[in-house]
Amino acid sequence: MSTIKKQQPSITKGLFGKENYLMMLAGLVVMALGFFLMAGGKSTDPGVFNDDDVYSTTRITIAPLLIIAGFVIEIFAIMRKPKEI
């Protein structure tokens, strides 16, 4: 009699773990917040240029820092090795 071996289905592990995906989502949220803060500054009167709206600290400093932080979070989330189960 010959014995027939049943192959068990192989469990393929994903490229990223749950923590990686959550960190990627957090990075996207931080970047979206940065882009949202950078938007705006439009004047209702095209003949008037308001320096305070265009060159505000939020648009010039905080928003770009948030966008860079979002990219750093994304890179870290991609490079981080997922935990083994």
pLDDT in tens, 28-50: 999 999 999 999 877 788 888 88
Tokens matching residue 1: 């009699």
Q: By the 8 A CB rule, do 76 and 13 touch?
A: no
pTM: 0.76
If one compares 59 and 53, the residue with the highest pLDDT of the two is 59
